[in-house]
């Protein structure tokens, strides 16, 4: 029997708190799960620093990847026998679902920003490079690895397959909303996925939703909106992200400073600092190693690096206020100046962070990031863009919401020795509203 058709002697099941069970019957899938590059995802948290806000959110990307696979498995088992569905694409869909996040590293968000990396690039590298995963995929079929890679990169020719993994209502989002809700324990993030799966229909170039399922989709979109603002953009999580980014930034600066000698040489970071990260370096970097460095760097001589690492390790985060630097340029400049005078380096200790999200978007051809809208399949067989049918979606459609916050170490402000200076800093900060404790 061809490798791609091999079935496990007995179905394997993973007990999953979100989908109850994840079912694996294909040998290819089982082999991919067992590959070191996939097992590595156990050592990378799905939500990075969010567990500093929601202590339950300690789940890994391994967890989520299995979930996305399982959702796609259920969707396409419903597709069997329907028009537009090519069952030859089954294994491709499953592999792409399982591997779509394979390139994530520890604390991806901050690492990508500071070191100008892109996890999608590494996903491609792992799938196409000299890896166990690649060997498995190539054994399926010549060119199969490339196809998997293309699906994840959204360049694959069959757009229906792409839309299962990447669209405004794909398996990826459906898994993470539910999973992150489960592990954080928040009451948002619930929607009737079973119903959505039942009303999904394959069309030529996308998955569409039978109109009877519109309300379940509305609920999904509202869940997404709430999860973004309540969990993903939580200001305390962002405080931890700010500190993390500044640690990476500082370490790089020190590395480039020929006068500075690390007590603990940043061996694992060198290629990141030098901008020549190769796959082997990248795969070695999991959260264990990063936290190892942060723990030991608490004892570095550089006061900033040591302080920031101590803050991150022991969760002594920055406080924050609402602050829009575009509108409050004068206050921003004055604070900057006062911090410098007080010897608190504003590059590390006075940080604006902005988050923004578009809860749902209709199609705007030609715009920067084209987002494929959700289509309803109407009784008469026509497709109708969701926001034209749903009043509730229409009301939030295309509306981008942005939130700006200023982060700073309130403990250092309180310890400023020059009392006039301190008073002025506090006056500006308080003038912007409540100082919030990132705790």
Window 264-283: residues binding a second copy (CB under 8 A): none
Element (H, E) at 391: helix 391-396
Site string for a second copy, 216-245 (x = CB under 8 A): x-xx--x--xx--xx---------------
Instruction: Report the residue from 2, 88, 142, 194 that binds a second copy according to the rule CB under 8 A.
Output: 194
- Kindly state the smallest distance separating residue 194's Cβ from a second copy, in Å: 6
Q: How far is the CB of 216 from a second copy (least distance, A)?
A: 8
Size of site (CB under 8 A) for a second copy: 71
Q: N- to C-terminal Cα distance for the chain?
A: 58
- Evaluate whether 155 touches 166 at the Cβ level (below 8 Å): no
Interface residue with a second copy among 5, 7, 42, 340 (CB under 8 A) is 42
Contact status: 395 vs a second copy (CB under 8 A) = yes
Q: How far is the CB of 433 from a second copy (least distance, A)?
A: 6
Element (H, E) at 161: helix 159-165
Residues 83, 381: Cα–Cα separation, whole Å: 13
Question: Could you give the CA distance from residue 304 to residue 159 in angstroms, rounded to a whole number?
Answer: 49
From candidates 28, 29, 48, 62, binder to a second copy by CB under 8 A? 62
CB atoms within 10 A of CB 352: 16
* CB-nearer residue toward a second copy: 17 or 343: 17
CB of residue 20 vs a second copy: minimum separation in angstroms? 6
Q: Identify which range of 176-184, 245-253, 330-338, 360-368 contacts a second copy by CB under 8 A.
A: 176-184
Neighbours of 27 (CB within 10 A): 17
Which one, 42 or 337, has the nearer CB to a second copy? Answer: 42
- Torsion, Cα 262 268 270 274, to 10 degrees, reads -140
* Binding segment toward a second copy, per CB under 8 A, in 148-156, 191-199, 243-251, 416-424: 191-199
Q: What does the alpha-carbon distance between residue 179 and residue 64 come to, in Å, rounded to a whole number? A: 7
SS3 436: strand
C-alpha–C-alpha distance, residues 83 and 203, integer Å: 8
DSSP letters for 279-314: HHHHHH--HHHHHHHHHHHTT-S-HHHHHHHHHHHH
Residues 15-34 that bind a second copy (CB under 8 A): 15-18, 20-21, 34
Binder among 295, 306, 389, 432 for a second copy (CB under 8 A):
295
Give the binding range for a second copy (CB under 8 A) out of 120-128, 137-145, 311-319, 415-423: 311-319
The beta strands (E) that lie in 214-350 are given as 319-322
Given candidates 7, 39, 77, 341, which one binds a second copy under the rule CB under 8 A?
A: 39
In the complex, what is the shortest distance from the CB of residue 3 to a second copy, in angstroms, rounded to a whole number? 19
Among 7, 55, 257, 423, binds a second copy (CB under 8 A): 55
Q: Whole-angstrom Cα distance, residue 122 to residue 40?
A: 14
Residue ranges with strand state E in 149-236: 200-202, 207-210
Q: Is 66 in the site for a second copy (CB under 8 A)?
A: yes
Residue 184 in contact with a second copy, rule: CB under 8 A: yes
Name the one range near a second copy by CB under 8 A: 168-176, 210-218, 300-308, 326-334: 210-218
Tell me the CA distances in angstroms from 20 to 98, 101, 194, 349, one per residue in order: 17, 22, 12, 44
User: Which lies closer to a second copy via its Cβ, residue 113 or residue 316?
Assistant: 316
Site for a second copy in 313-342 (CB under 8 A): 313-316
Which among 83-91, 94-102, 365-373, 395-403 is the span making contact with a second copy, rule CB under 8 A?
395-403
**C-beta of 353: minimal distance to a second copy in Å?**
19
Q: From CA 243, how far away is CA 174, in angstroms rounded? A: 30
131 binds a second copy (CB under 8 A): no
Decide: is 430 part of the binding site for a second copy (CB under 8 A): no
Q: Which is nearer to a second copy, 34 or 261 (CB)?
A: 34
User: How far is the C-alpha of 369 from the C-alpha of 120, rounded, in Å?
Assistant: 16
Maximum Cα–Cα distance for the chain, whole Å? 81
Which residues 6+ apart lie within 8 Å of 345 measured at CB? 304, 339
């Amino acid at each position: 029997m061809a490798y791609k058709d091999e079935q496990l002697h007995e179905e394997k099941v993973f007990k999953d708190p979100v989908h109850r069970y994840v079912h694996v019957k294909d040998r290819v899938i089982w082999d991919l799960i067992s590959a070191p590059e996939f097992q590595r995802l156990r050592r990378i948290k799905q939500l990075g620093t969010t567990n500093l806000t929601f202590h339950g959110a300690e789940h890994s990307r391994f967890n989520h990847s299995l979930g996305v696979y399982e959702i796609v498995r259920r969707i396409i088992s419903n597709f069997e026998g329907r028009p537009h569905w090519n069952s030859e694409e089954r294994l491709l869909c499953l592999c792409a679902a399982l591997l779509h996040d394979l390139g994530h590293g520890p604390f991806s968000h901050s690492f990508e920003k500071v070191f100008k990396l892109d996890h999608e690039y590494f996903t491609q590298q792992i799938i196409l490079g000299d890896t166990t995963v690649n060997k498995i995929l190539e054994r399926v079929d010549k060119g199969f690895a490339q196809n998997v890679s293309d699906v994840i990169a959204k360049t694959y020719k069959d757009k229906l397959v792409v839309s299962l993994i990447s669209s405004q209502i794909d398996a990826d989002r459906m898994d993470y909303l539910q999973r992150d809700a489960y592990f954080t324990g928040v009451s948002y993030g619930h929607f009737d996925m079973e119903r959505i799966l039942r009303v999904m229909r394959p069309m030529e170039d996308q998955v569409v939703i039978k109109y009877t399922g519109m309300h379940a989709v509305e609920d999904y979109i509202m869940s997404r909106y709430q999860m973004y603002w309540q969990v993903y953009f939580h200001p305390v999580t962002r405080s931890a992200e700010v500190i993390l980014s500044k640690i990476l930034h500082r370490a790089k600066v020190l590395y480039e400073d020929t006068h500075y000698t690390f007590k603990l040489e940043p061996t694992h970071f060198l290629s990141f600092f030098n901008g020549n990260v190769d796959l082997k370096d990248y795969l070695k970097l999991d959260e264990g190693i990063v936290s190892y460095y942060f723990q030991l760097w608490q004892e570095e001589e550089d006061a900033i690096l040591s302080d920031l690492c101590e803050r991150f390790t022991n969760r002594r985060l920055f406080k924050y206020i609402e602050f829009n630097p575009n509108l409050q340029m004068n206050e921003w400049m004055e604070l900057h100046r006062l911090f410098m005078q007080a010897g608190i380096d504003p590059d590390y200790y006075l940080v604006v962070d902005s988050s923004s999200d578009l809860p749902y978007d209709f199609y705007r051809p030609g715009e920067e990031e084209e987002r494929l809208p959700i289509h309803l399949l109407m009784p008469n067989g026509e497709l109708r863009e969701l926001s034209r049918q749903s009043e509730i979606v229409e009301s939030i459609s295309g509306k981008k919401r942005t939130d700006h916050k200023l982060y700073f170490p309130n403990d250092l402000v309180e310890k400023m020795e020059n009392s006039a200076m301190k008073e002025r800093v506090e006056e500006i900060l308080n003038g912007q509203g409540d100082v919030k404790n990132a705790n």
